[in-house]
A and B are shown apart, each in its own frame.
Chain A
Amino acid sequence: MFSRLSSIVTLLLLSIAAVAEEDSALTHGGLTFPSTLKIVKASAAENQVTVEFDFINSGREKVFLDALETHCSCLGGEILPKRLYPEGVKPGESGKIRAVFDLGQFRGEVEKTIGVRLAGEEKGKITLRVRVHVPVLFEIEPMTLVWGLGEETEPQVFQIKVTHETPINILSHSMSSANFLYNLKVIEPGRRYEVTVTPESTERAGLGVLQFRTDCDIPKHRNRQAFVVVRKPIPKAE
């Protein structure tokens, strides 16, 4: 009895801490999750992150888990301890949902969900969220330069900042469209660059892809791209 009470108190305290991080505790179908959102700051080189969601059966009846649902092949789920599926979770018993997130080529922030479906027609499911931030080592700002059709062919600038611990040098660069002239300026070698782009004409809509190949030591951060566009203005009434 005491151990069940102390588990519930611990979970409640964890839920209060979780709420402070825009997270929220959730009780559904007898299961209480003190946290339904896990925020992970991955390192730039990491390819996989693992997070665990604690739960406890805070109800009076045994709860049966039916399945874990993900909508991305990048996210795998597992119920721990394994005997809880299909044996069920007894009142007061606790467990974990372990989610393994394959980061692949992701950069920046990405969020995926995992659904815990409870057995029984009306039990529904609990949605858990995993939000991962993968640092962008070679930041291009903005990612797209836009000129309106018929506008002046004024130059616009991409600012590039390297946030990696070691410098990242641009080995080569290219533009896919001859309509856009560009000039790369090294502000601080391996750290800061500036690319000025000028369209030769804005009479026709068009797209250019500016590609950079760098010497970044982490393969998935090695190649980057930015876009230049001449297009008609968007109707405001949409």
Chain B
Amino acid sequence: MISSFFQLIWIGLASLLGAVVIWAIAPERESVEVCDPGAIKPSEICLADALASESTVVWVDARSRKEYEAVHLPGAILLNTDPGENWDEMLAVAMQSFFDAELVVIYCGKSGCAASEEVAKRLKDSVLGQMGVPVKVLYGGKKALVAAGKL
């Protein structure tokens, strides 16, 4: 009887230790609001729709170079309006991907982080607008990508 009691204690402690280890090493999953395509702004797109699109999608990371270099969606292009960056040079690189894109999706840190809206506006007003390529801002930004396990 006593032996069973101690076994239970040991099992309990081992489970607790396992939980602590998983909590410590598991990648962080940030909470993100559920994206309702009917409720978002016309300039935005839900991650599920962007991923399901049959168009040739080009992803743009509008965060800082430091954040981009730390982690970014595979294939995403860095394009931001930071003053230390040369917009013209970055755009010339991005155009190598844009010229045959059918949809450009831009993300920054999170919803309302403004950087992706800013880049989207500049692209719509210039090259992508003139090429007729739709530009969308990812609803939820990087947080949505992290929550979906894409980053």
Which residues of A come within 8 Å of B, CB atoms? 71-74, 102-106, 108, 110-113, 142-144, 146, 205-207, 209, 223-225, 227, 229, 231-235, 238
Contact = CB atoms under 8 A, between A and B. Distances in A.
Contacts, number: 89
B132 interface: yes
Contacts of B55: 235, 238
Given A143-B130, A225-B88, 12 more contacts: A71-B114, A71-B115, A72-B81, A73-B83, A73-B84, A104-B83, A105-B85, A108-B122, A108-B125, A144-B127, A144-B130, A231-B131
6 contacts: A71-B108, A108-B122, A205-B99, A229-B131, A231-B131, A234-B102
Given A209-B92, A231-B99, A144 B83 contact: no
Q: How many of chain B's residues touch chain A, expressed as a range?
A: 35 or more
A106 B119 CA distance: 12
B100 interface: yes
A106 B83 CA distance: 7
B103 A238 contact: yes
Contact of A73 (B64, B103, B134): B64
Interface of B: 53, 55, 64, 81-88, 91-92, 95-96, 99-100, 102-103, 108-109, 113-115, 118, 121-122, 125-127, 130-134
Contact of A105 (B86, B122, B125): B86
Chain B contact residues, majority secondary structure: loop
B133 to A, nearest CB: 6
A192 to B, nearest CB: 21
A128 to B, nearest CB: 12
B100 A74 contact: no
Contact of A143 (B81, B121, B126): B126
Contacts of A103: 83
A221 B72 CA distance: 31
Contacts of A233: 132
Contacts of B92: 209, 225
Contact of B114 (A108, A112, A205): A112
